[in-house]
């Protein structure tokens, strides 16, 4: 195919340089957005009297035909084209003649690709958003079903205090809820149209950028033409949001991997979301969770690639910016794949409350409650903390636990201990007393679930 920029060069570009320069291999993914943007651009040109109504009709019909043929398989993208814009314009011109050459009036490939990418990201962001909502629903269902199941809560991966499984799961629901907010915020800032910025300085034609932006579903046109073609902040923001999604999935994956091990036995992942070993027939590997954990680094890399590519670029457009699309495409593909498998993996996992409870019975998880017992009876907390630390150390040496240590032994440490202590330090009591907003008791978990359900209802669209 001939180059859209042919005329200036004294000789043909070397084949190796052509191959190096071409982007059709990956930007052909934007072909529908490119055609839709071109149809609206032609309509704007005709509306402003820059293009005849006859040419506009020929162009819009021709572009519609190309899109139909691409979708039916009657037409294939020519990988010899330099980029998606070249392929569309030259295919259109071959079909409708001279009118096709007028389509590019009052625009550049610089603002055209910026538009295509925003249109593509707008759709893909909505897809990621919907997948996040599906995962939050799955987490909420499991949290509801197991809101009273007691397990150890950890800090430093050491057993710390008893909590409910519903409470633990809702921590992830809140992370994912913030991810939706980050996507929404980034999408709002992306909601401006760059078309009409042309190469960098705008155009001498009497275009109506506001009308064109509105027809394309944007709230406004960008206010500065240099910024319009050189801005990729929206890519950075959305990839940062994607990287944060992956970080949350990775943390969740790590816990699912631990919980489903023989050492924990808290959950069993469904066979549909695990694999086996080629040599050890007893193995059941949590490969889907492991892959989500592993692919997190890939999305981080996509974000870093964009940040590094943009950090030294002068205004306005530079060919370096061709590197944005592969990173963006890869990040969104990866996030969608991971979210797509994560929701059903969580929804189908079996929870083992008895194993969780057995684990919570070990590790002195009620030590803080013993200290609180003394504090409520007048002992300063710091003194109570030290006393209980000594008590725990003595129990470890003697092979005892706080729940069954005789009250007579307790009284050798402090006269404040009474027979009601045991009711205060049972696992059920330790959980039930955490009644502060956001805490682990069932009443609090119910309130968190109600808040989450209300938010989900508002955000399903």
Q: Report the distance separating Cα 116 and Cα 25, nearest Å.
A: 16
Q: Which of 137, 143, 162 is nearest to 152 (CA)?
A: 162
For residues 292 and 338, the answer to whether their CB atoms sit within 8 Å is yes
Q: Which residue has the tokens 């064109």?
A: 212
**Over the range 278-304, which residues count as b (16 or more CB within 10 Å of their CB) and which as e?**
eeeeeeeebebbbebbebbebbbebbe
Q: Report the distance separating Cα 196 and Cα 194, nearest Å.
A: 6
Active-site option among 277, 286, 352, 436 = 277
Number of other CB atoms surrounding residue 206 within 10 Å: 9
Q: Which of 154, 161, 125, 121 is nearest to 365 (CA)?
A: 161
Whether 146 is a known active-site residue: answer no
Q: Report the distance separating Cα 9 and Cα 250, nearest Å.
A: 51
Burial tier of 127 (Cβ tally within 10 Å: 0-12, 13-18, 19+): middle
Active-site option among 156, 261, 352, 414 = 156
- The answer for residues whose C-beta is within 8 angstroms of residue 289's C-beta and 6 or more apart is 252, 253, 254, 256, 257, 269, 273, 345
Whether 248 is a known active-site residue: answer no
Number of other CB atoms surrounding residue 98 within 10 Å: 9
Q: Report the distance separating Cα 26 and Cα 332, nearest Å.
A: 14
Active site residues: 156, 277
């Amino acid at each position: 195919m001939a180059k859209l920029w042919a005329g200036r060069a004294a000789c043909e570009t070397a084949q190796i340089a052509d191959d190096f320069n071409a982007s059709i291999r990956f930007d052909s993914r934007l072909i529908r957005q490119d055609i839709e943007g071109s149809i609206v651009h032609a309509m704007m040109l005709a509306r402003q009297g820059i293009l005849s109504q006859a040419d506009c009709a020929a162009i819009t019909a021709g572009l519609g035909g190309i899109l139909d043929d691409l979708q039916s398989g009657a037409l294939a993208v020519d990988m010899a084209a330099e980029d998606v814009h070249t392929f569309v314009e030259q295919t259109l011109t071959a079909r409708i003649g001279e009118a096709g050459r007028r389509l590019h009036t009052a625009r550049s490939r610089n603002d055209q690709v910026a538009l295509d990418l925003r249109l593509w990201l707008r759709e893909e962001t909505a897809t990621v958003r919907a997948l996040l909502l599906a995962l939050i629903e799955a987490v909420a269902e499991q949290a509801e079903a197991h809101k009273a199941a007691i397990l150890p809560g950890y800090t430093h991966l050491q057993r710390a205090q008893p909590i409910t499984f519903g409470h633990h799961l809702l921590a992830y629901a809140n992370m994912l809820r913030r991810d939706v907010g980050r996507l929404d915020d980034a999408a709002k800032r992306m909601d401006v149209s760059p078309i009409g910025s042309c190469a960098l300085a705008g155009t001498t034609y009497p275009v109506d950028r506001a009308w064109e932006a509105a027809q394309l579903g944007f709230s406004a046109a960008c206010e500065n033409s240099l910024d319009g073609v050189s801005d990729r902040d929206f890519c950075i923001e959305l990839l940062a949001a994607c990287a944060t999604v992956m970080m949350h999935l990775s943390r969740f994956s790590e816990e699912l991997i631990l919980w489903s091990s023989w050492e924990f036995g808290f959950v069993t992942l469904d066979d549909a979301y695990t694999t086996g070993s080629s040599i050890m027939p007893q193995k059941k590997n949590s490969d889907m969770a492991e892959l989500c954990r592993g692919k997190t680094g890939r999305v981080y890399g996509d974000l870093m690639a964009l940040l590094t590519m943009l950090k030294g670029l002068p205004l306005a457009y530079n060919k370096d910016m061709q590197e944005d699309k592969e990173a963006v495409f890869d990040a969104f593909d990866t996030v969608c794949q991971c979210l797509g498998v994560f929701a059903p993996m969580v929804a189908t996992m079996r929870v083992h409350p008895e194993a969780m409870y057995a684990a919570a019975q070990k590790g002195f998880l009620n030590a803080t409650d013993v200290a609180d017992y003394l504090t409520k009876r007048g002992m300063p907390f710091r003194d109570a903390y030290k006393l209980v630390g000594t008590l725990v150390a003595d129990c470890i040496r003697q092979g005892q636990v706080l729940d069954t240590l005789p009250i007579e032994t307790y009284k050798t440490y402090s006269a404040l201990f009474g027979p009601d202590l045991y009711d205060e330090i049972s696992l059920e009591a330790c959980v039930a007393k955490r009644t502060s907003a956001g805490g682990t008791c069932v009443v609090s978990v119910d309130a968190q679930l109600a808040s989450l359900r209300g938010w989900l209802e508002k955000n399903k669209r």
